[in-house]
Chain A
Amino acid sequence: MSATDAIGILDTATELARINDGQVKKLPTLRGRTIVNLFAEDSTRTRISFEAAAKRLSADVINFSAKGSSLSKGESLKDTAQTLQAMGADAVVIRHSASGAAQRLADLEWMSGSVINAGDGTHEHPSQALLDAFTIRKHLGKGASDLTGLRIAIVGDVLHSRVARSNVLLLSMLGADVVLVAPPTLLPVGVESWPATISYDFDAVIPNVDAIMMLRVQQERMSDLFFPNAREYSRYFGLNSERMSAMAKHAIVMHPGPMNRGLEIAADVADSARSVIVEQVTNGVNVRMAILYVLLAGGPLVVGSN
């Protein structure tokens, strides 16, 4: 995906947002197309967001979660994909705990439809990055099409975060300067090669950025002890109201959700006027509508991950 493609999706989402804000809630664009939500890992907002996006474009949606399906009986991804293909799915939105699952599904031609990565393991979450870029551009872009000159801090559990990886790639491609802030134990190997600077000192970074994106501490993926205890993590890397008051006046607070209130983000910060966390969810529907529109409305198109 190039910067031009990404800006194209953001522009499409902007127009769709304007339509969704008005009286029109349902568009006939994808009538008769079938979209399968294949969620082999738990998700609330991404699945509902894709479902809402598909339904607003009049597509038929089939939800498929690992629990209660043959995936829990041990059916392979390939067999599942071929079943979906046989049922005539035009697109599959896939969330999987294995990194690269979506790429594999798209590359190996098990099915002819589009494959949309809705998060694969600790690897990537492209639609989240696009909605974050959309939110940043809307609040801070001043009418520009890309994010040139903006400084964005991504703070917290970078190691387990597919949101962080996708955001670093997308935001830097769109011209933003990205700073990763995390304890050294929560940074992945090879992070030096990412297009981002790294800091261990949250307080030094705060006054210099336009947006702070807090990441969820993913305790369910932590097989080891990555920090001494929650209070210490919160003291050094949590966003509380004291730290928020040190932010630039125009700066915004973001979080991909679900939040651990009191751990990486204080409740009063999450609910403050600077927080765009609820708006991120709204924007998510618009951005996912744009993704479905670009992939499904037109003729054949080459599909890749981020």
Chain B
Amino acid sequence: MFGYPQSPTVADIVCPASFNDPSCEVGKEIHMSVALSAQDISRALIRISHEILERNHGSSDITLLGIPTRGAHLAARIAAIMNSIEGKEIAHGTLDITLYRDDLRLRPPRTIMPTFIPPIGIQGRDVILIDDVLYSGRTIRAALDALGEVGRPRTVQLAVLVDRGHRQLPIRADFVGKNLPTSEKQSVKVSLTEIDGVDEVVIEGEAN
């Protein structure tokens, strides 16, 4: 396979009885297609790292903040890539936005994840928010509120692995791994080796 791009694979699986998803009727087929392979993800992250450095004229004023859980791992990966490019440590951390969400009352209580702001802080820095999927934009709105409590960055930019559209707020990403046109019925699942044992982006469900 070396040297050849992996073509997207399509798999039709059958809902198992244990599958905990009301939209999945037992025995009904769910359509799954791999949108990004491990290599695609790796290439996208390298490109995003270069783009961030280019746009900000180097890494000296950059603070990367990943939104848990998967955004936090992506931030750590981008920091490592930028470190190998620039040859110096990149300030990076995590920003949990659970307590700032506007949809808390619509669901059972969510677990609060760790927030770690690098010692250099965010005051006057160029903060790059990093998340796995950009969808309604509400997570990012909450993240902007959370940032406002911590300090006043010079700029806030947004990097996402996947932009799947369907924005409900006037928010856009500055750096995008891949634009995935999806229907609202579909779901986009991002798997990362740190949590899921594999690097993969999968679209579940039929387009219409």
Task: List the interface of chain A (C-beta within 8 A of B).
Answer: 8, 11-12, 15-16, 18-19, 22-24, 26-29, 57, 293-294, 297-299, 301
Instruction: Name B114's closest neighbour in chain A (CB-CB).
Output: A15
Known: A28-B100, A297-B104, A298-B107. A12 touches B112 (CB 8 A): yes
Contacts of A15 in B (CB 8 A): 96, 112-115
CA distance A16 to B111 in the complex (A): 11
CA distance A11 to B96 in the complex (A): 14
Is the pair B151, A23 in contact by a Cβ cutoff of 8 Å? Answer: yes
| Residue in B106, B107, B109, B115 with the greatest tally of chain A CB atoms within 10 Å | B109
Verify if B11 is at the interface (C-beta below 8 Å from A). no
Verify if B180 is at the interface (C-beta below 8 Å from A). no
Give the interface residue-count category, chain B.
20 to 34
Give the total number of A-B pairs whose CB atoms are below 8 A apart: 55
Least distance between A117 CB and chain B CB atoms (Å): 19
Chain A proximity mask over B34-62: 1 for CB below 8 Å, otherwise 0: 00000000000000000000000000000
Verify if B144 is at the interface (C-beta below 8 Å from A). no
Least distance between A134 CB and chain B CB atoms (Å): 14
In addition to A22-B115, A29-B100, A299-B107, 18 A-B residue pairs with Cβ atoms within 8 Å of each other are A11-B112, A15-B112, A15-B114, A18-B114, A18-B115, A19-B115, A22-B150, A24-B150, A27-B149, A29-B104, A293-B109, A293-B112, A297-B99, A297-B104, A298-B104, A298-B105, A298-B109, A301-B108
Verify if B30 is at the interface (C-beta below 8 Å from A). no
Instruction: Name B146's closest neighbour in chain A (CB-CB).
Output: A24
Contacts of B111 in A (CB 8 A): 8, 11-12
Instruction: Name A29's closest neighbour in chain B (CB-CB).
Output: B99
Verify if B185 is at the interface (C-beta below 8 Å from A). no
Can you pick out 27 interface pairs between chain A and chain B where the beta carbons lie within 8 Å of each other?
A: A12-B112, A15-B96, A15-B112, A15-B113, A15-B114, A15-B115, A16-B112, A18-B115, A22-B115, A23-B150, A23-B151, A24-B149, A28-B99, A28-B145, A29-B104, A57-B99, A293-B109, A297-B99, A297-B104, A297-B109, A298-B104, A298-B107, A298-B110, A299-B105, A299-B108, A301-B108, A301-B109
CA distance A18 to B95 in the complex (A): 12
Verify if B24 is at the interface (C-beta below 8 Å from A). no
CA distance A94 to B196 in the complex (A): 44
Contacts of B115 in A (CB 8 A): 15, 18-19, 22
Verify if B15 is at the interface (C-beta below 8 Å from A). no
Contacts of A18 in B (CB 8 A): 114-115
Verify if B117 is at the interface (C-beta below 8 Å from A). yes
Q: Which residues of chain B from 126 to 159 have any CB-CB distance to chain A below 8 Å in the complex? A: 145, 149-151
